[in-house]
Chains A and B, each alone.
Chain A
């Protein structure tokens, strides 16, 4: 009884079957062409662009980190270089000072040496001068003495005679 009553429910109605088939196929073709194709495409594209953006962001982050570490390295290097430059500069300065000191010392010594030589020279020159002076003075004195002695003619004659004697003897 129940089965019979249900019977119209489970026996497919050909009219509805035809209509639903036709309508569903039309729906399927229209939606495939005008809805699903653009929608699925747009979704895929958006997903891809999001993925791209994420990958790019990740890359940028890595790049950033790389840059930062590079910067740090550079900074460290720069610091080291600065330190070494400072050290070198100090060394050079010390050396220059030392060199200057040494040079000054040697220069001084040289000057002193030169001065000493000069002094000796001057001394010698002065001594020679003095000797000349003394000799000329003594000659002058001798002349004066001689003049005094030979003021008188007799004495001059006597001397000449003496001298002549001596020459004759020779």
Chain B
């Protein structure tokens, strides 16, 4: 699948669509800020206060949808409880998330096998000794930051379940088509094989080969795994109901893990040339005190940029879609749906493309960074 010409010819299109995307994003950010300003300034009338509270609720709802959760919510009161696994001061504590009901306001102390816990906004903390003024066992400092301690939460959350589902799908699909490659050796691809083969070839010919040259073979498994992992999870995130709906690639822990993998590969495979470029850059010696720190920072900035790019793009898409839907509730009119739903549809279609593009960008940048690390001859 040779997509490079599309990327080139449709450059204008992609730029314009990003422009639209960012303008919409900044608009929603602006409106949120605006409402935030409202709350701090004028709690004038009761009606107004109610409206702002509603707005705040909606931004909470949006964030709640994007964030991880200890249960998989379907609709209304229907949800699958997921196992909570905590490494507390008293050792390992496990229970199903619905064991203590759905109180996540931190107003109740939960007793899990002798370990006292409090559920505050879906996260488990050790309760404060005394109840705070707002009725919770959570205490904040003057800046509003939480003071409570927290056990290490290694629960099977919604994102973990989604992760396991996507990994299972990937394993079944690709080990399956590997089988058909063995069975139909030397023959033309068929079925699923012929759908995925162009994409595998795309990763090989348009991502790995241009960035890595003749060394591409050793990095193909990593690049293919990353590409399909990110792509599948981007797409699954767009499905609004089970088994999708978890915002896995829009979760910074996951993108951090992926970026860390690329960073480890880059660092492990970095050759003399690469490190030479970092510690003896091609500049006059008196610039070394400036250049070497810059280069060292550059080593870490690259994976951090990878991490933030994927996280921000996918999260932004989710926030955008949820914000557009929330408009119906903010404006309290069903007619808004006439505008909001086509917009949501439009953004969803864009998100489909973004899902692919972000997987592509993550993979090509990983390949580029690895390529820079294994390059024999610095081109300067």
Contact = CB atoms under 8 A, between A and B. Distances in A.
Contacts of B40: 1
B147 to A, nearest CB: 15
B20 to A, nearest CB: 23
B91 interface: no
Interface in B137-173: 144, 152-157, 159-160, 163-164, 167, 170-171
B220 to A, nearest CB: 5
Most chain A CB within a 10 A radius of its CB, from B33, B67, B174, B201: B174
Nearest to B182: A38
Given A16-B68, A21-B257, A31 B221 contact: yes
A6 interface: yes
Interface in B177-204: 177-178, 181-182, 185-186, 197, 200-201, 204
A167 interface: no
A31 B225 contact: yes
Interface in B39-78: 39-40, 59-60, 63, 66-68
A9 B182 CA distance: 44
B272 interface: no
Contacts of A46: 186
Interface in A14-35: 14-21, 23-24, 26-28, 30-32, 34-35
A13 interface: yes
Interface stretch (B9-17, B247-255, B284-292): B247-255
A14 B153 CA distance: 7
A154 interface: no
A19 B175 contact: no
A122 interface: no
A152 B153 CA distance: 200
Contacts of A8: 63, 67, 121, 123
Most chain B CB within a 10 A radius of its CB, from A19, A24, A28, A30: A19
A65 to B, nearest CB: 29
B32 interface: yes
Contacts, number: 141
B167 A42 contact: no
B160 to A, nearest CB: 5
A16 to B, nearest CB: 4
Nearest to A14: B152
B32 A2 contact: yes
A15 B157 contact: yes
B161 to A, nearest CB: 10
B359 interface: no
> Size class of A's contact patch?
35 or more
Given A8-B63, A27-B171, A39 B33 contact: no
A37 interface: yes
> Size class of B's contact patch?
35 or more
A70 B68 CA distance: 78
Contacts of A18: 154
A49 B201 CA distance: 16
B217 interface: yes
A153 interface: no
Contact of A16 (B33, B159, B224, B261): B159
Contact of A43 (B144, B200, B254): B200
Nearest to A42: B181
Given A4-B144, A31-B221, A24 B258 contact: yes
B252 to A, nearest CB: 5
B222 interface: yes
A11 interface: yes
Given A13-B253, A17-B257, A34 B157 contact: no
Interface of B: 29, 32-33, 36, 39-40, 59-60, 63, 66-68, 85, 121, 123, 144, 152-157, 159-160, 163-164, 167, 170-171, 174-175, 177-178, 181-182, 185-186, 197, 200-201, 204, 217, 220-222, 224-225, 229, 248, 251-254, 256-258, 260-261, 311, 315
- The 5 A-B pairs with the shortest beta carbon distances in the complex, nearest first, are A32-B221, A35-B174, A42-B181, A12-B253, A17-B253
25 contacts: A8-B121, A8-B123, A12-B252, A12-B253, A16-B68, A16-B160, A16-B251, A16-B253, A19-B160, A20-B163, A20-B254, A24-B229, A27-B167, A31-B171, A31-B174, A35-B174, A36-B224, A39-B181, A40-B200, A40-B217, A42-B182, A43-B197, A43-B204, A45-B186, A46-B186
Interface of A: 1-2, 4-6, 8-21, 23-24, 26-28, 30-32, 34-40, 42-43, 45-46, 49
Given A31-B224, A38-B182, 5 more contacts: A17-B257, A27-B171, A28-B261, A36-B221, A42-B181
